Structure 1
Amino acid sequence: MKRLYGITTAMVTPFTREGEVNLNQVGKLTDFLISKGVHCLYPLGTTGEMIRLSVAERKAVAETVVKQAGGRVTVFIHAGATTLQDTIELAKHAHTIGADGIGVVTPIFLGANDRELEEFFVTVANSVPDNFPVYLYNIPQCAANDLKADVAQRVADRCPNVVGIKYSYPDFLRTNEYLNINNGTFSVMQGSDRLLLAALAMGCDGVISGVSCVYPEPFVAVYEAYQQNRIEEARRLQRIAVRYCETLKSGSNMAYFKEALRLRGVDAGSMRAPQLDLLPGEADSLRLALAELNRETLYG
């Protein structure tokens, strides 16, 4: 079964100015990211405004990314949704269209105990073939539910296709617990862009990065330098990657991502309500900050 690794890009979802999903730009964004050397694609997650999309829209985006990628990179579709029924429908759809696997976020907003989390993930994993890989996705600061390592282990014990986890919280003690699942063979992808190099040093397979949707280059460079054991160079490049994270607000407001993509020649359109686009003054400040950063780093 395929696994995520390296720089796995969490993709934004392009919309038209009228608020419709722009599938043409989804395809162009896919090509842009592949051309910049990312290793895997991860559409329709938090960065992709998943909870603002209908099931039909999510299917259309998934189909577009898989078709446009054409096997050039690994594509895992995020299938987590607000209901179990929608999650299963999206999981089965991802398998049907030829995606390489899926990610599934914990149930969101309403609290779920450990037994409920375990049964939720087992049910979803069992809804697809046992050779179709599934990544758990834990982002407790947004989802309001935290997936403990022992619960993840129980899910993995019951479901051989649950091969890893995306952990989007900067807790290295918990990260280390995840790394010990299945006697150290569980795939762990860090979701905090700023921790890429440290996560690799711990044994994580890579990062699922939203900032790399806008500036893949420094993240790809960090990963390549680390793989080649050029540690000092990796540290230098990591500092550059962090500066892009800071400039783009590191995922706290995807409007910064979409405006920065526009500046790079990729029209990702607008945010979907109730989120709003940047104000003109905010967009101008971002443009100037990125121009200065790009001059220093030779990206852009």
Structure 2
Amino acid sequence: MKKLYGVTTAMVTPFNEDGSVNLEQVAKLTEFLISKGVHCLYPLGTTGEMLKLSVSERKAIAETVVNTARGRVTVYIHVGDIQVEHVLELAQHALHIGADGIGVVTPIYFGANERELENYYKLISNSLPDNFPIYLYSIPQCAANELSVEVVEKLAKECKNIVGIKYSYPDFTLTSKYLNVIEGNFDVVFGPDHLFLPALALGCSGTVSGISGVYPEPFVALYQAFQEGNIGKARELQKLATKYCDVLRNGSNMSYFKEALKMRGIDAGYMKGPQLDITNEEIEKLRKNLVEIDQELSVIG
């Protein structure tokens, strides 16, 4: 059973101008990220604009990433959706195409109480083999529902295939409580990219990072430095990674990610409505800002 660790990259979804998915560029992005040393791939999450995609499009993207990766890195497919039936269908698909596991965001938009959240995840867990790992995914600022420690603890104890949580909110108090759920047997991967190093120091297994989908290098180097005990170097790399986070708007607008990837030679395509691509003026400002930070990145190699 493979778990998420280190630098898990949340991938963007390249769209053509007409809103269709560009699977050729999905494959090229997958190769680019693997070549940069990321440890795991996480397509079809928030960064991947998952709710703008049909079930068939999501299946095609998942197959493309898994088939392109060919076991060289761990691949988890995010299968969360507003319809439970879609979640179950996408989870089965991820299992059958050979993904290493899945992530599932909490129910979205409509409020869900603790009994409903517990029932939701147990339904998904029971639909899959015990040895096919599931990560809970909590991003309350977008989904409007948060997972309490009590619910997470119940799920971790009662569902053998629920092995961790992806937590994408900068609350270290709650993060530390998640880390104490079945200590040593329940993983926490942290979402806010600008807090990667302190999350590692707290005990998280790694990050699920959208910024690393554009600039993997400082994140991969930071994780390596931390593993080697070189905290001074890790701090410097976190500063560099945070500069990229700031310039790329911390993932609040995926068009910044896509334009920056184009500057790096990867055609990540367009935004899909209602979101729009950033303007030419914004692109030029982004280019200028990135050139300045790239000079620091060049020192890393």
Identify the residue that residue 222 of structure 1 maps to in structure 2: 222
CA distance in 2, matches of 1:40, 1:267: 21
CA distance in 1, matches of 2:184, 2:177: 9
Cα deviation for residue 183 of structure 1 reads 2.7
CA distance in 1, matches of 2:160, 2:180: 16
CA distance in 1, matches of 2:294, 2:183: 43
CA distance in 2, matches of 1:252, 1:73: 27
Identify the residue that residue 279 of structure 2 maps to in structure 1: 279
Identify the residue that residue 237 of structure 2 maps to in structure 1: 237
Identify the residue that residue 187 of structure 1 maps to in structure 2: 187
CA distance in 1, matches of 2:278, 2:233: 34
For residue 182 of structure 2, give the secondary structure of its aligned residue in structure 1.
helix
CA distance in 1, matches of 2:294, 2:236: 15
For residue 166 of structure 1, give the secondary structure of its aligned residue in structure 2.
strand
Cα deviation for residue 115 of structure 1 reads 0.5
Identify the residue that residue 155 of structure 1 maps to in structure 2: 155
**Number of residue pairs aligned between Structure 1 and Structure 2:** 300
Cα deviation for residue 155 of structure 1 reads 1.1
Letter paired with 1:10: A
Normalised to the residue count of structure 1, the TM-score between the two structures is 0.99
Which runs of at least 4 in structure 1 moved beyond 4 Å after TM superposition? Answer: none
The alignment status of 1:116 with 2:107, answered yes or no, reads: no
Letter paired with 1:167: Y
Is the 8 Å Cα contact of residues 255 and 277 (structure 2) preserved in structure 1?
yes
CA distance in 1, matches of 2:295, 2:63: 37
The CA RMSD over aligned residues, in Å, is: 0.9
For residue 119 of structure 2, give the secondary structure of its aligned residue in structure 1.
helix
5+ residue gaps in structure 2? none
Query: Pairwise mapping of residues 1-300 of structure 1 onto structure 2 (< 5 A)?
Result: 1-298=1-298
Is the 8 Å Cα contact of residues 179 and 185 (structure 1) preserved in structure 2?
no
Normalised to the residue count of structure 2, the TM-score between the two structures is 0.98
Letter paired with 2:165: I
CA distance in 2, matches of 1:125, 1:98: 17
CA distance in 2, matches of 1:183, 1:247: 37
Cα deviation for residue 125 of structure 1 reads 1.2
Is the 8 Å Cα contact of residues 240 and 296 (structure 2) preserved in structure 1?
no
The percent identity for this pair of structures is 62
